[in-house]
Structure formats: structure tokens, C-alpha cells
Amino acid sequence: MKIKISNLLVLSALFIGTIHAGGFQLNEHGARAMGMGGAFTAVADDPSAMYFNGAGLTQLYGWNFMAGTSFIAPNTEFRGISSDITSYKTTAQTFVIPNGYVTYGSGDWAVGLGFNVPFGLGTEWPADWPGRYLAIKTDVRAYTITGEGAYKVLDNLSVSAGLVFSFATVTITQKIPYATDPTHPILFNGDALISLEGKDNSAFGYNFGILYKPIRKLSLGASFHSQIKYNFTGTATTTAASQLAFETFPAGNISANLTTPFNLTFGAAYDLIPELKLSADFQYVGWSSYDTLAIDFTNVPRAASPRLYDNSYIIRFGVDYRLNNALSFQGGIYFDKNPVKPEYLNPSLPDANRICFSLGANYKVTNNFTAAVSYLFIRSSELTVTNSNESVVPTYPTDTRKFNGTYNSFANIGSISLSYSL
């Protein structure tokens, strides 16, 4: 049978941790930019400037259209629970993350409209693995539609501002043991399956950008993406044995206000020779700006959760080599600092420090049509948790075991972008 629940605090905590996991933030919003390791803030010379630095739109003339997709295939292995070293792996999945841009520029000013997925991905663990009470299946999507305007203040200085409209969905599945409440002993063992779905149909943010060229060979850029505050509402649905239709699973809905972090990025690009451009970015991610989450239940008191994340950063380096007027190649490397302390790590999407390598190619098929492809490999450092705050069975207070073990993760990402100009 299926019945609604609302007073499962652990489920709500997972809902929160899922949204704020650093690994769910996506920065792959254009194939050429991804090929350069995302070091594109001071380059910003194709329509994906809408995302990376809107001030770069003044480098584009007339109508420009760009559509692209990234194919993200993450993999995670967990060995544990300590001192056991049994290995468990996530189910192989490929996430399709689209992006699209339309811009118009006169040289002195430009406007544009963009579509992105800045937060996404998910995990799916075996249904009977030891962490089934923390996570089985998790899927997050945050979509944005951005309107951008850019203006060339001086011949070598452009600025931009944009308004962001966003909507988001979250789906989480986990299990809970029947014997969750010692005051309601039962005569058999087993698990109930819990699914939570939450959404927010309208949230808003903004961005700013600046691009400055002090000399012909050197470009300096900066961009700021604001926090976006989501007012999620959701329901949890439990599938359990019909004999358990009592107050252990009371009816009700759940709501929570969640905030994604701001991103502040500084970049520099330099033409070492006419055919070779070098670029670098420093991206600061304000995860700690989220300090407390209040969770509202239908028929139990409000619960609050303190912040669990630190501010983090990403350091990026990229190169673009133009072989001829039609073909260029890209390469990149970056380091992504983990914002989550090991003791707060959750298997919904394990985070760790990451080192990433990328390659790409950009080909001008005609004077108006360009195709770009790129590949990105993400390798997370092995992370062993010895002091986890996560309980193996969070809903059973007499179980003191902690979810300690070792995580290994990597991801393969392919991207393609097609551009057309008029």
C-alpha cells in the first residue's frame, strides 16, 4: 500500500544535503569552453558568453545562435562499512544536459537569451546495499532562463547584467526499516521504500560581467552569478506492507527554503602568439552563504539544520591553438576544491577534491556555421571517512554504527555545440 509521510527528519536532511552537494553544480555550458577547462571568463567570444561572462557578447555581431548538449557519465564506488571492505558501485547512467543561446549585437551593445542547467546529475545505488537507508536513487535538476544585456563603455571595456528565471525538481528514493520505532515492535523484518519529490516552479537570480582589454594581447574578465533561493514543496510516499498502516507513517507534506551558492569568477587570457591563446580562471563558490535551513512539516514542529559546507574554489587553466582559419584545438586542466567536510559526506552524491582534464576541437564548417566537440575527464581523489555523522540506520536511535568507508569517483563528459551566425 502507499501512504504519505511528513515527519521523517532524516529524509528531509537528505533532501537538503542533496541540493547542496558540490558535485551537483555543473559548469559545462559550451563545448569550446569545456575544452579549455572552463577557463573562459576572459575569452567569452562565442554565444556561451551568456553564461561565462555576458560582457563578452559585445564581441559578437548580428544574430548568433548556439545549441549544445553535454553527456555526463558519473561513476562512484564505496568500500565499507568500515571495517568491512566490500565494494558497492552506482548504476551506470548518462545524464543529458542541454544548453542554448540566442544573441544579437551591434558592436557597441548586445542582448541575449540563454538556457542552462547549472545544477543537475544524480546517483543510483543497489536497492539492498548497506547505505540504502541514506540513499538509493537521487536526481536533481535546476533549470535557468537568462536575459542578458551588454554595453561597450569604452573601446576596450564592456559590462553586462542579466536577470535569471529558474525552476527546479528533486527526486529522492531511499529505504527505512520497519522496526524504526521501539515503541511499535513488529513481528517481521524488512524495509519500506520511500520516495520524495520536490519542486519549485519559479525562482530568480541575477548576474554581472565585465571584460577589459588593457592591451591588444591581454584580456581580463570577471563575472558574478547570484544565489538563487528556491521554495521547495514536496511529498513523501512510502510503499510498505499493508500490516503497517498505523501512525509510524503519518500523513502530510514537506516544504523547505533552499539556496544555491553565488559564484564569483576572475579570468585572464593572453595571446602568446597570434595562433595560441592561454587563459586562466579563479572561481570562488560561496557555499557557506547558506547557514540554516528551516524545514516545515504538516503536523510536527519546524526543524532546523545548521550549515555544513565551506566556501570553495576552482582553479582553471586553458589553451586554444588555431591551426588555420577553420580549425582550432583546445586543452584544459582544473582543480575543484571539495566544499563538504568528510564527516558530513552523504552517498547521494559523494564529494571530494577533483582534478580534471579536457580536450576539444572547433571547426568552422562555413562562414556562418561552426561545430565544436570536447571531452572532459573528472577524477575525484580517494576519500576515506572515519568520523561520519551519518548513521547506518538514521531512524533507529539504538543503532550507533556510523557510515564510515572509502569513496572513489570519476566521470566522463562529452560535449557538442553547434553555432550559426547571420
173-188 average pLDDT score = 63
pLDDT in tens, 317-351: 999 999 999 999 999 999 999 988 888 888 887 88
The pTM of the full predicted model, rounded to 2 decimals, is: 0.90
The DSSP output letter for 58 is: G
380-407 average pLDDT score = 84
Q: CA nearest 340: which of 23, 14, 8? A: 23
Q: Is the pLDDT of residue 62 over 90?
A: yes
Q: What is the pLDDT of residue 5?
A: 41
* pLDDT band with cut points at 50, 70 and 90 for residue 191: confident
Q: What is the pLDDT of residue 175?
A: 84
* pLDDT band with cut points at 50, 70 and 90 for residue 55: very high
Between 158 and 232, the more confident residue is 158
Q: What is the pLDDT of residue 268?
A: 98
Between 6 and 60, the more confident residue is 60
The tally of domains found in the chain comes to 1
Q: What is the pLDDT of residue 250?
A: 43
Q: What's the farthest any 2 CA atoms get from each other in the chain?
A: 79
Q: What is the pLDDT of residue 341?
A: 84
32-50 average pLDDT score = 97
The DSSP output letter for 309 is: B
Domain that holds residue 368: 2-421
Q: What is the pLDDT of residue 246?
A: 47
Lowest mean per-residue pLDDT among 13-27, 125-139, 360-374: 13-27
pLDDT in tens, 236-295: 777 776 655 544 554 467 777 778 899 999 999 999 999 999 999 999 999 886 555 555
- The x, y and z cell numbers of residue 108, run together, are 557597441
- To 5 degrees, how large is the angle CA 59–CA 117–CA 157? 20
- DSSP output for 350-408: ----EEEEEEEEEEE-SSSEEEEEEEEEEEEPPEEESS-S-BSSTT-TT---B--EEEE
Mean pLDDT of the chain: 86
Q: Is the pLDDT of residue 184 over 60?
A: no
Q: What's the CATH number where 213 sits?
A: 2.40.160.60
